[in-house]
A and B are shown apart, each in its own frame.
Chain A
Amino acid sequence: MACKCGDNGKSKELKEILTKYTNDKSNLIQILNEVQEKYGYIPEFAQKEISEYLNIPMAEIYGVITFYARFTLKPKGKYNVAVCLGTACFVKGSEKILERLKQKLGIDVGETTSDGKFSIEATRCIGACGLAPVFTVNGEVYGKATPELLDKVIDEYMKKED
């Protein structure tokens, strides 16, 4: 059964991901990781196609998506800003950085700005504890962070054209 989302480009991208894997059920999390990476979330059409490909009920896939913190059902912003709240970063003041970020963007953790440009994530330890506190923008790490550094970095991304 073909996908009825009407977006063949996206569906083609998904097919490319699926062809890398056999239809062994244990590939589910690998596939979801790639889909999350590609689209910034797990779109419903992707859930349907994965469900058919691996022969796993949609409900079970939904269960897996909501179990793991990395998977989201809503699109993330073009720039996903993740503040590490692992213990090492937390004791070095990452909460202040998160507060400043929320204030600056006017959104909460897990939300995306109305222009789709930024989203905020509170992440688990990323292992860069030597540089604590850290935040990342689309995976790029900014270490020894302060609210001032955050301001500077976010302002730079705000200036970037779409």
Chain B
Amino acid sequence: MKTLEEIRKIREEKRKELDLRVNLKANTREKHILVCHGTGCTSSKSPKIIEKFRKIIEEKNIQNVRVVQTGCFGLCAKGPIVIIRPEDTFYAMVKPEDCEEIINTHILEGKIVERLLCKDIDNSVVQRLDELNFYKKQKRIALKNCGIIDPENIDEYIAFDGYKALEKVLFEMTPDEVINEVTESGLRGRGGAGFPTGKKWYFTKIAEGDQKYVVCNADEGDPGAFMDRSILEGDPHCVIEAMMIAGYSIGANKGYIYVRAEYPIAVHRFQTAINQAKEYGILGKKIFGTDFDFDLEVRLGAGAFVCGEETALLESIEGRSGRPRIKPPFPANVGLWGKPTLINNVETYANITKIILNGAKWYSSIGTEKSKGTKVFALGGNVVNVGLVEVPMGTTLREIVFDIGGGIPDGHEFKAAQTGGPSGGCIPAEHLDTPIDYESLAQIGSMMGSRWINCNG
């Protein structure tokens, strides 16, 4: 158990210690070797890279160097990725046998290992992450901590304003004020349908019931979509914190996150995060000494695509076959075990803490008239830079596919991009300049849907 004072102290001290992760001009002799531990890089052996680095550092007794497992950096096509901060050197397609050279040349001699640098889409060799075209047009809000913190270390989350939004909400805001803030931010459901999030919170708040629930839909079933997975793997605490804020606002003290069993790393990280939050007394009874209690449980899916539909998901949490219920009544009135239930998608929750800390005005200044904020997309198929991207709403498909994605491999012509998963539509080249938001995608016959962009060339 930690008191609020102790948590504030961790925030202050840890933030100084980790400054070099975000401040590239940090004046320090320390170096942090960040190794992507997301699904893509893990599949291409990044855990072995971490192990190897740690072994070499120990054998050579090197001081002031820390190896950190982080969430997804986004550029999965170049994985496994290793980034060294504060200098921000970006090494691509690293193999365990490259670790020795990185330590000897980069860490000990202070020289760049040229052969491990990656080529950008214009064929220039890039040394630093922020020089890559892939990142230039991106704006990271939901993915803010992904690739910066160790997701299995709650202190690192706390260092970067973690649980500060919860503190603000519990001590400075009424539930109505929180809901107003979310409403005014213009945030809409990131699960694909785009329902105004604040409205959903409000409906659940005014619904009558002695018990209410907060649910997170992490049944990211559409093939090709992996942004929710990446958030859970890279920054699980931000979802926990947002669910708690939602609980405070609607009057719920119990939450469930429904995750696909096909996502073992995400399940493990999220469960670890819950355990750590409980240990710190952040989840539990009388949170931060207030009257607010909140408990959170993970529920696993078992390979049923339909369980991404909210009422089927509720059936599954209750332990039954996931058959959708008839709507109305909507879950806001009759949800889990017949009680009022708020269901939001992972990415929706990932925006909440930032809205609370920076304000609705800030959030609504990003994006288009009707679609505010940013949107995370899984960029896949026939495109050079396969990976995870977060861009302001209103960014055009051309910018995503060409400026960020690097276009179609081998100079092939772009034919079409499919958005919204299997239920979406194929967008031909003539619509490449369409700004991406909920309305414009619907207008040209596709949809935001499951938020993946599959390119065909």
Contact A69 B304 (CB under 8 A): yes
Interface size on A, residues (CB 8 A): 40
Contacts of A139 in B (CB 8 A): 264
**A63 contacts chain B at the CB level, 8 A cutoff:** yes
Q: Mark B374-409, 1 if CB is under 8 A from A, else 0.
A: 000010110000110000000000000000000000
- Complex Cα distance, B94 from A1, in Å, reads 56
Write the chain A residue with the least CB distance to B422: A87
Contacts of B261 in A (CB 8 A): 33, 70
Residue among B43, B44, B222, B319 making CB contact with A25, cutoff 8 Å: B319
Contacts of A124 in B (CB 8 A): 221, 223, 262, 303, 305
Write the chain A residue with the least CB distance to B388: A130
Contact B303 A28 (CB under 8 A): no
Q: Mark B65-109, 1 if CB is under 8 A from A, else 0.
A: 000000000001101000000000000000000000000000000
Contacts of B302 in A (CB 8 A): 29, 32-33, 36, 68-71
Contacts of B79 in A (CB 8 A): 130
Write the chain A residue with the least CB distance to B378: A129
- Complex Cα distance, B40 from A131, in Å, reads 7
**B204 contacts chain A at the CB level, 8 A cutoff:** no
Residue among B43, B77, B300, B378 making CB contact with A134, cutoff 8 Å: B43
Contacts of A134 in B (CB 8 A): 43
**B317 contacts chain A at the CB level, 8 A cutoff:** yes
- Asked whether A87 and B43 contact (CB < 8 A) given A29-B316, A67-B321, A130-B386, the answer is no
Contact A129 B380 (CB under 8 A): yes
Contacts of B222 in A (CB 8 A): 125
- Asked whether A127 and B76 contact (CB < 8 A) given A29-B316, A86-B223, the answer is no
Contact B39 A128 (CB under 8 A): yes
**B279 contacts chain A at the CB level, 8 A cutoff:** no
Q: Mark B290-330, 1 if CB is under 8 A from A, else 0.
A: 00000000011111110000000000111111100000000
**A26 contacts chain B at the CB level, 8 A cutoff:** yes
Write the chain A residue with the least CB distance to B385: A130
- Asked whether A88 and B454 contact (CB < 8 A) given A68-B321, A127-B220, A130-B386, the answer is yes
- Complex Cα distance, B299 from A90, in Å, reads 29
Write the chain B residue with the least CB distance to A26: B319
- Complex Cα distance, B303 from A123, in Å, reads 9
What's the nearest-Cβ distance from chain A to residue B53, in Å? Answer: 21
Contact A125 B224 (CB under 8 A): yes
Contact B220 A29 (CB under 8 A): no
Contact A130 B454 (CB under 8 A): no
- Complex Cα distance, B42 from A134, in Å, reads 13
Contacts of B223 in A (CB 8 A): 86-90, 124-125, 129
Q: Mark A112-139, 1 if CB is under 8 A from B, else 0.
A: 0000000000011111111110100001
**A91 contacts chain B at the CB level, 8 A cutoff:** yes
Please name 15 pairs of A and B residues whose Cβ atoms are closer than 8 Å in the assembled complex, sorted by A: A26-B299, A26-B317, A26-B318, A28-B319, A29-B316, A33-B261, A64-B319, A68-B302, A88-B380, A125-B224, A126-B262, A127-B263, A129-B223, A129-B225, A139-B264
Q: Which 6 A-B pairs have the closest CB atoms?
A: A130-B76, A86-B223, A69-B303, A125-B223, A68-B302, A141-B43
Known A30-B300, A125-B221, A125-B223; further 17 A-B contacts with Cβ < 8 A: A26-B299, A29-B319, A33-B302, A54-B319, A56-B319, A64-B319, A68-B303, A71-B303, A87-B421, A88-B224, A88-B380, A124-B305, A125-B224, A126-B262, A128-B43, A129-B223, A129-B226
